[in-house]
Structure 1
Amino acid sequence: MGTVVVGLNTLENCRAAVEWAADAADRAGADLDIVCGVQPPPVVDTWSVGYGREVLDQLDAAAREELARARDLVRDRVRGEVGVRLVHDHPRPALLAAARGADLLVTGARPHHRLRSGVLGGLQLGSTSLYAAGHAPCPVVVVRGAPAEGARDLVVGFDGSPAAVAAARWAAGHAAATGGRVRVLLVQDPHRDGHRAGSLTAPVLEGFLDALRVRVPGARVSASVVRHHHPEDVLLEASGTCALLVVGARGHSALASALGGCTSHAVLHQAATPVAVVPRPAPV
């Protein structure tokens, strides 16, 4: 790994993501790049030019203060360099630009500000995190909850597709670096996946795992096949006991995991642990 990028709006909202990114960078011996996007206010007419500049200056000052606080928080936790960057652009393109050439992009969630399901508070996934997970050129980790205490193992949602294969390979490399294990979880919906259930059997999975162990020496991997009408429920339950839940992204036109758009949407919004979305490699 060379660089881990983490998006920041305020440290209050992104503290968990910044700390997770710092720990990931330190384990990999990578640099940490903390990025904050500030969109300049629109100029309505010639009379608003000066006002727009004043607003931008205020936004800049606030963003630089947040970046400094974030850097001070994790400076001693990372062996590599800890840099901060203020980008005058909307957070979405700012993060995507920063992710080019990076090995990992980390984003967070923001607090709820209204009552949901009778509970005040909690975290919700912002549009920027969803956009990054569906469009970034590198793996994206969305941190909306802390992993279970002491957990180091990873769970990979798998269906045999190229996107799922990429996710499993990335998870094996990440686990080998962190001392964790990987559980490749094939969740088959009897209704939706019945036509392909015969091709993705336990022996086929074991063959894939053997190849994965050769590809990533030292990787500790296992597989499980679960038949369930709601794959997202199985993955969400697994997220409660793992350090990281990993899914694959089919492409950049929309967020769609290796297990289907509805499943990925549920996992990203409800998982109890950080979620990694791994893009499918570009064709050679």
Structure 2
Amino acid sequence: MSADADAAVDAVGEAQDGGPGPVVVGIDGVEESRAALTWAATEAARRGTWLHVVHAAPQPVYGDVWTGGYAPLVLEELEAVARRTVEAAAEVARQTSPVRVRTHVSHESPRKALLTAAAGAQLVVTGARRRGRGHSGLLGGFVLGSTSLFIASRTPCPAVVVREEPAAGARGVVVGWDGSAQAEAALRWAADRATATDGDLLVLTVWRAPADRATGFDPGAFEDARRAAGEDVDRRVQDVLDRLRREHPGLRVQGRGVEDTDPGDVLLAAAEDAELLVVGARGHGAFVSALLGSTSHDVLHRATCPVVVVPDAGRAAEHRGGDRSGARA
């Protein structure tokens, strides 16, 4: 077993033995992943834990091509390149924050490598790929890869997607809440995070006016139903704020209900100057968009600030041997 493989086994063992789990960051290259890498290093230092840098470099096999005399040399060079990549990444992390770093070169797919590393981890951090030169698009030059989406929908611990480093002065946490189990997990994580960092927390509930047969074409009936729905949302949000203030004395928290047909637009607008945007993930479904939920899927593609996707307690517990205490911040 290689030194990297030993480190990966030790990482899982340490977490399972009760030690603090690491912050895991998946990288492609150092420059491509710099934002995610530096964010993860800073977060690991803040938590007082170590950083686990994972780089997936599957060995290529094309029929009999690698059976020739040059195959070992080529594979050795690929391995050397991968190791230089993680060593350079580790150096960037140490220059960013005083953090312990372990590295691992995996020969599995990026998805499998990161899911394996996520066992016992506190967070899994991924980035976004830079688009080709001259293509700015709607994402500020970055496009979210399938691996980041997959990890956000599957990992047993919170997943963080860092497209670019947070803007100077970014502060506070924004969380989307709709009363579901997934939103409750996200709310707990966001409140814990804001408390730990002495940051402000904004809780947003996006709702739309009811449209059903009861109101028919009667404008008055529709307005009455709309007003009642808005008042109900306001009461529910106030109940949540009261609960958070009881559970987190001193937490600076505000909340509001916003009537809109596009929750993603509302969350993204509120998070423009935020340090983090937190959303919940659905636990089951056949496709990534179903696993994440349409709003989470939307903000992951469009947010410029880091986005945290928090799994519900059920999915997290499946990977923790039945402990249903909720996600850790």
Aligned equivalents of 1:33, 1:187: Cα separation in 2:
36
Does the CA contact (< 8 Å) of 1:64 and 1:86 recur in 2?
Answer: yes
Once the two structures are superposed, the pairs formed by residues 182-197 of structure 1 within 5 Å of their partners are: 182-190=201-209, 197=229
Once the two structures are superposed, the pairs formed by residues 208-247 of structure 1 within 5 Å of their partners are: 208-247=240-279
- The RMSD of aligned alpha carbons is 2.8
Amino acid in the other structure paired with 1:15 = R
Per the alignment, do residues 252 and 13 of structure 1 end up closer, same or farther by CA in structure 2, a change over 3 Å counting?
Answer: farther
Amino acid in the other structure paired with 1:21 = A
Per the alignment, do residues 122 and 66 of structure 1 end up closer, same or farther by CA in structure 2, a change over 3 Å counting?
Answer: same
The total of aligned residue pairs comes to: 282
Aligned equivalents of 2:284, 2:78: Cα separation in 1:
31
2:193 to 136, 149, 174: 174
Aligned equivalents of 1:12, 1:234: Cα separation in 2:
32
Does the CA contact (< 8 Å) of 2:93 and 2:99 recur in 1?
Answer: no
The structure with the larger Rg is 2
Who is 1:112 aligned against? Answer: 131
Aligned equivalents of 1:211, 1:36: Cα separation in 2:
41
1:251 aligns with 2:283: yes
Does the CA contact (< 8 Å) of 1:36 and 1:86 recur in 2?
Answer: yes
Per the alignment, do residues 203 and 138 of structure 1 end up closer, same or farther by CA in structure 2, a change over 3 Å counting?
Answer: same
1:26 aligns with 2:45: yes
Amino acid in the other structure paired with 2:66 = S
Per the alignment, do residues 211 and 119 of structure 1 end up closer, same or farther by CA in structure 2, a change over 3 Å counting?
Answer: closer
Who is 2:67 aligned against? Answer: 49
TM-score by length of 2: 0.77
Does the CA contact (< 8 Å) of 2:115 and 2:151 recur in 1?
Answer: yes
Structure 1 residue 212: deviation in Å? 2.6
Does the CA contact (< 8 Å) of 2:22 and 2:50 recur in 1?
Answer: yes
Aligned equivalents of 2:56, 2:306: Cα separation in 1:
22
1:123 to 142, 145, 151: 142
Q: Deviations over 1:48-105 (max 9, x none)?
A: 3355544432222111111111111121444442111111111110001001100000
Amino acid in the other structure paired with 1:42 = V
Q: Deviations over 1:208-227 (max 9, x none)?
A: 22323343454332211100
2:303 to 264, 271, 278: 271
Does the CA contact (< 8 Å) of 1:33 and 1:84 recur in 2?
Answer: yes
1:9 aligns with 2:59: no
Aligned equivalents of 2:144, 2:100: Cα separation in 1:
29
Who is 1:65 aligned against? Answer: 84
Amino acid in the other structure paired with 1:211 = R
Per the alignment, do residues 119 and 3 of structure 1 end up closer, same or farther by CA in structure 2, a change over 3 Å counting?
Answer: closer
Per the alignment, do residues 41 and 252 of structure 1 end up closer, same or farther by CA in structure 2, a change over 3 Å counting?
Answer: farther
Does the CA contact (< 8 Å) of 1:114 and 1:121 recur in 2?
Answer: no
Who is 1:86 aligned against? Answer: 105
Does the CA contact (< 8 Å) of 2:144 and 2:301 recur in 1?
Answer: yes
SS of the residue corresponding to residue 169 of structure 2 reads coil
TM-score by length of 1: 0.89
Does the CA contact (< 8 Å) of 1:160 and 1:200 recur in 2?
Answer: no
Q: Percent identity?
A: 46
